[in-house]
Structures are given as structure tokens and as C-alpha cells.
């Protein structure tokens, strides 16, 4: 690390890398620091896609969508508690973010649908590979091409403010040795706090013993350090539990919403459906929890498998139970055969008539009438922290009085407000790109005095 930078970006998830590219393009001297040994943050675990409405990709696929629907459905999903200023900026800039990525060689040209949306709004790579690793790989290649310095094993431990603005930071290496670095602006792209058991217990005591899908770096450092400077935290008790997490082994695996979006159903120990599988995460989670059966089973077939590449991976690590026939699957899962068979015929009837009388599911209607059949055992797990630093649509961090803390920016999961009390799948990746671009731009505007 050098002694001084225009902008230091803390965190190497999608938010950090996107903002670094933007800031570099606008002429800033930037550096990205990352406390973990590897780059990419929790973004690396993102599996589903990136939401945007009114995109070229949608038009090319005959999908007629609009900003109003995207805005309203995100608001609906978030319990109408979303920060409206952030949401407006988010919705109207998402198509530009998709285009910006395409210009970087990161092409999201396949569309799928997921929980809480009425249109195919979730963009993902044509290869159908999980989006996170694809995105980080593409962004890192661009950062290397732009000679943006990236420092791993380098942790932000303190932020300095003098004369009412940010002037520097203290970073520590793995040996604990501290170094001071002068900055004109600082961007916190440090992600959420889903892996910080103490913070989770403090804000949501009933989730204290839940497992998390997050990487260990999701410990909330950024928001705690900014809070010491007087930054305001919002929505900290809004913690998203993802309904479908495989957690029967040491490592937890998030089973992407696309599995349901592309056609999987959920059944209980009685082999019966119990919820609209594509209701919001909050509702599906509540329904699984209410079963009181230590989770539930995702049931799907080859059609779903072909549409969701991640299933190959789930299978490779041993999460998928296969039945050469439905009866065999039922036996392996210890579910009543007759019930399961009845459930599937009811479901196929619902698909044929496009009417799910039982639970009102309207999307991901795929016939399940051909062996082999597959299942994954899932239960809810801590997935995403909606709350965080209070920012405005310029990504400036605000203090307890709503005043801007000069030179301090935050974007991505570390920031709170956009998602209200429940994030729609596919909105977090979109948030990293939309607000990563904005943070890089706003920091440049501030530093260059434009």
C-alpha cells in the first residue's frame, strides 16, 4: 500500500470492484483492500441473477416489463418499508448497470423469474452458471487490465475524521501490524453481518442459533467502524432468512431460488405441498418454519435440472437425492408414496390448467411427470442483512442527524434501506452494480470538485 490515495475501497465483492473500475475511469488514484485471503467476498456465493426492468435483453426475449412494476413489486416484497429514494434510483439505473456490465464483457443475456416478481426480470449468464463467481471473474479481469491495485489480507481497523471530513484510515495485515493511509474519500463496500453471531443475536435474538449461508468475512466491520464516527444505522433488525438452505452437513449450501423459479415444488413430511413456492422469501420461510418438521423437500425433475446449472454442483457435493421412479424417491426420503404421487398429479393438473387452486402459484409452472425425480432437503438459514449504514442515493453516509459525513461512502450490503424488511432474490447483485457505479462516480465528483 502507498501512503496516500484519492479513494480507498474496502471490500472486494462486486460493489468494491465495480466502484473501483468506475473511479479509476474517472481519473482517481484508487486501491481496493480486502481482509480475507481471497477476493470476491460473499458475492462469490451469489447464485441466482441480477434483476432489472426495461432492458434490451428483456425486449430481445419478448418480455414486456416496466419500472413501475419493478418498483411496486420490490416495495411489496419489502413490506413497503423500503427507502423510496434509494429504490427509485435503483430501479431506473438497473438497465444501465446491465449495459455497463456487457461493455465490460460480462454478459447477462439469459432471463429467469423468481420469487416476488411477475416478469422474467432476473438476468444471468447464458451458460446458466451461478452469477456471483461469473461476475467476480469478469470484474477481476477488468481490474487487472486497468492496473487497479487489490490488496488481500488487509483489514480496515479504523477510520480518521478531521475538520469534519474523512482524512485517513488504519489498516492491519494478518500479523496485526498497523499502517496509516491518507485518503480523500473512503468507500465502505464491506458487505453484511450475516456471519456475526453476536450482532445477529443483538438485533434478532430468535435467530441466534440459525446457521448462515454467508462467508466468514460477513462480520459487519464496516458498519461498526462507521458507527463510531457517528454514522446512522437503519433497519438492523431486518435479517433475511433464506427458505432453502441445505444444512445437514458441516458446510451449508444455499439452494438458489431458481430451482423453484424453474419448476421445483416443496413438500412436507406427508409428501404434500404447503405453500406457494414462489411467494416472497419471508412467506416461504414462515411456512416451512410452521411445519415444525426440521425443514422440507424440494422436488423436481430433469427439466428443472437442465435450466439450473447449479444443480449439477449440488449433486456433486452430495445434496441431491435421486429416484429412478417417484416411488423410489419417496422410499429414499421416507415420504408416504401415495401422497407424493397424488401431490404430483394435482400439481400437473394445476400446470395444465395454469391454475394452482391450492396455493395460487402463477410462475414456474412446469409439469413433473417424468422420472428420474430428484429431491433436496432444505431448511431456512440466515442469508442477508437488509439493514446497515444509512445512505442517500448518492451513496453518501449520513449521521444520526441526517447530515452527510464528508468523504464517507457506502454501497452494497453494508448499506441499509433499499430492500425494506425483505429482499427480493436478484436485487442484491443489482444493488452492487447500480450503487457501486454510483459510489465511484460520486466519490470522483467530490474529490475532483466537479
Residue 83 interacting with ligand ADP (CB under 6 A): no
Q: Which range, of 48-56, 216-224, 292-300, 344-352, touches ligand ADP by CB under 6 A?
A: 216-224
Decide if residue 12 touches ligand ADP (CB under 6 A).
Answer: yes
C-alpha pair distances (Å), 25 with each of 22, 37, 188: 5, 27, 19
Angle between helix 131-145 and 427-448 (nearest 10)? 20
Question: Exactly one of 7, 9, 11, 74 binds ligand ADP (CB under 6 A); which one?
Answer: 11
How far is residue 199's CA from residue 278's CA, in Å, rounded to a whole number? Answer: 29
Q: Name, in order, each residue with C-beta under 8 angstroms of 384's C-beta and a sequence gap of 6 or more.
A: 192, 194, 239, 240, 242, 413, 419, 423, 428
Q: How far is the CB of 207 from ligand ADP (least distance, A)?
A: 19
Is residue 323 a contact residue for ligand ADP (CB under 6 A)?
no
Tell me if 432 contacts ligand ADP by CB under 6 A.
yes
Q: Angle at Cα 16 formed by Cα 204 and Cα 5, nearest 5°?
A: 120
Place of cell 464516527: 229
- Does 15 bind ligand ADP (CB under 6 A)? Our answer is yes
CB of 145 to ligand ADP, least distance (A): 20
* From 121, 281, 305, 307, active-site residue: 281
How far apart are CB 193 and ligand ADP at their closest, in Å? 10
Interface with ligand ADP, residue 14, by CB under 6 A: yes
Q: Are 261 and 115 in contact (CB under 8 A)?
A: yes
User: Is 155 a binder of ligand ADP (CB under 6 A)?
Assistant: yes
Diameter of the chain measured on Cα atoms = 73
Distance from C-alpha of 42 to C-alpha of 413, rounded to nearest angstrom: 10
Q: Is residue 112 close enough to count as binding ligand ADP by CB under 6 A?
A: no
Of 10-18, 264-272, 320-328, 395-403, which segment contacts ligand ADP by CB under 6 A?
Answer: 10-18
Site string for ligand ADP, 21-50 (x = CB under 6 A): ------------xxxx----xxx-------
Residues pairing with 150 in the sheet: 32
Residue 305 annotated as catalytic = no
CA-wise closest residue to 8 among 107, 115, 151: 151
- Answer yes or no whether residue 156 interacts with ligand ADP by CB under 6 A: yes
* H or E stretch at 440: helix 427-448
Contact set with ligand ADP (CB under 6 A): 10-16, 33-36, 41-43, 155-156, 189-191, 217-218, 221-222, 412-413, 432
Amino acid at each position: 500500500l502507498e501512503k496516500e490515495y484519492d479513494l480507498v475501497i474496502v471490500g472486494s465483492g462486486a460493489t468494491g470492484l465495480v466502484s473501483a473500475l468506475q473511479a479509476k475511469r474517472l481519473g482517481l488514484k484508487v486501491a481496493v483492500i480486502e481482509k480475507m485471503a481471497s477476493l470476491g467476498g460473499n458475492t462469490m456465493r451469489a447464485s441466482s441473477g441480477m434483476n432489472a426492468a426495461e432492458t434490451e435483453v428483456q425486449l430481445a426475449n419478448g418480455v414486456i416489463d416496466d419500472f413501475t412494476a419493478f418498483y411496486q413489486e420490490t416495495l411489496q416484497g419489502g413490506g413497503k418499508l423500503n427507502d423510496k429514494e434509494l429504490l427509485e434510483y435503483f430501479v431506473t439505473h438497473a438497465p444501465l448497470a446491465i449495459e455497463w456490465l456487457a461493455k465490460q464483457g460480462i454478459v447477462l443475456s439469459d432471463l429467469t423469474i423468481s420469487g416476488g416478481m411477475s416478469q422474467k426480470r432476473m438476468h444471468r449468464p447464458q451458460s446458466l452458471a451461478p452469477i456471483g463467481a461469473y461476475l467476480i471473474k469478469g470484474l477481476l479481469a477488468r481490474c487487472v487490465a486497468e492496473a487497479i491495485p487489490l490488496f488481500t489480507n488487509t483489514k480496515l481497523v479504523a477510520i480518521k475524521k478531521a475538520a469534519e471530513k474523512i482524512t485517513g484510515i488504519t489498516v492491519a495485515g494478518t500479523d496485526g501490524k498497523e499502517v496509516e493511509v491518507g485518503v480523500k474519500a473512503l468507500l465502505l463496500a464491506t458487505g453484511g453481518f450475516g456471519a456475526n453471531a453476536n450482532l445477529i443475536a443483538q438485533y434478532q435474538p430468535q435467530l441466534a442459533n440459525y446457521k448462515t449461508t454467508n462467508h466468514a468475512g460477513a462480520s459487519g466491520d464496516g458498519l461498526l467502524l462507521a458507527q463510531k464516527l457517528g454514522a446512522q444505522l437503519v433497519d438492523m433488525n431486518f435479517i433475511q432468512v433464506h427458505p432453502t438452505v441445505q444444512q445437514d452437513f458441516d458446510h451449508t449450501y444455499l439452494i438458489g431460488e431458481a430451482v423453484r423459479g424453474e419448476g421445483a415444488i416443496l413438500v412436507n413430511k406427508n409428501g404434500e405441498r404447503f405453500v406457494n413456492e414462489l411467494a416472497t422469501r419471508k412467506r416461504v420461510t414462515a411456512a416451512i418454519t410452521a411445519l415444525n418438521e426440521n425443514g422440507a423437500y424440494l422436488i423436481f425433475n430433469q427439466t428443472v435440472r437442465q435450466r439450473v446449472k447449479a444443480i449439477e454442483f449440488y449433486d456433486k457435493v452430495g445434496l441431491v437425492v435421486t429416484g429412478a421412479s417417484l416411488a423410489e424417491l419417496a422410499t429414499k426420503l421416507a415420504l408416504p408414496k401415495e401422497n407424493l404421487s397424488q401431490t404430483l398429479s394435482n400439481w400437473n393438473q394445476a400446470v395444465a390448467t395454469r391454475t394452482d387452486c391450492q396455493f395460487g402459484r402463477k410462475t414456474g409452472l412446469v409439469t413433473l411427470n417424468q422420472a428420474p425425480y430428484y429431491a433436496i432437503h432444505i431448511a431456512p438459514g440466515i442469508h442477508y442483512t437488509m439493514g446497515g449504514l444509512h445512505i442517500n442515493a448518492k451513496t453518501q453516509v449520513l449521521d444520526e442527524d441526517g447530515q452527510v459525513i464528508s468523504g464517507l461512502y457506502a454501497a452494497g450490503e453494508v448499506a441499509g434501506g433499499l430492500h425494506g424488511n425483505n429482499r427480493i432474490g436478484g436485487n442484491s447483485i443489482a444493488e452492487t452494480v447500480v450503487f457501486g457505479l454510483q459510489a465511484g462516480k460520486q466519490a470522483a465528483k467530490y474529490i475532483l470538485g466537479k
